[in-house]
Chain A
């Protein structure tokens, strides 16, 4: 299976900060990568697909980039609603696999 590694595992930040989360794949996955936001007790929410395509309804402060094996999720100005855990997922190879998550905490 493709291994997905996110960094950092935890990120402490303040409202208004620009933050970046990195996701690395163990093999080339082209641009077949998605990012999800997850809050406790809630349904995960799709943010980005195909590495850089913003899902409809997702604020433009979220952006994704990368291809091949290295990808990033950037939040340009962190808002109170953004404190959550973020997961990357590759869907180029069967089975789909996820990163271990990055928890964004209030500093």
Chain B
């Protein structure tokens, strides 16, 4: 079945950057957009943006524009999400999620999540 395996937990200082990876397997990587969603403590899930693995095209939520970069490496069927200028508000679990159809559909498979902790 579809697998999305994310990189391990990270602890970062304020102002630093973090790069989270998401390795996809058991499906044709370039055929499905990928979303990134984060879940901060006590908050609702927050959609961060999408990447088209075929073209590398991206679209970011307005809140994260200028601070997030999503990339992919088709040779290793992996997408990456890099977030810069970290603050304590960025402490959250970050998920990659495969989009069922197109760019703005629902997410049918999710990674296990990557905890990013921002602490002085």
Contacts and interface: CB of A to CB of B under 8 A. Distances in A.
Interface of A: 4, 34, 36, 41-46, 49, 55, 87, 89, 91, 94-101
A89 B61 contact: no
Contact of A46 (B62, B106, B111): B106
B106 A98 contact: no
17 contacts: A4-B44, A34-B107, A41-B112, A43-B109, A44-B107, A44-B110, A46-B106, A46-B109, A49-B108, A87-B44, A87-B45, A91-B104, A91-B106, A96-B47, A96-B104, A96-B106, A98-B45
- Interface range on chain B (Cβ under 8 Å from partner): 20 to 34
A45 B110 contact: yes
Interface in B98-120: 100, 104-113
Nearest to B115: A41
Interface in B52-86: 61-62
Contacts of B97: 44
A58 to B, nearest CB: 11
Given A43-B110, A46-B108, A87-B45, 13 more contacts: A43-B4, A43-B111, A43-B112, A43-B113, A44-B95, A46-B107, A91-B105, A95-B47, A95-B61, A95-B62, A96-B104, A97-B47, A98-B46
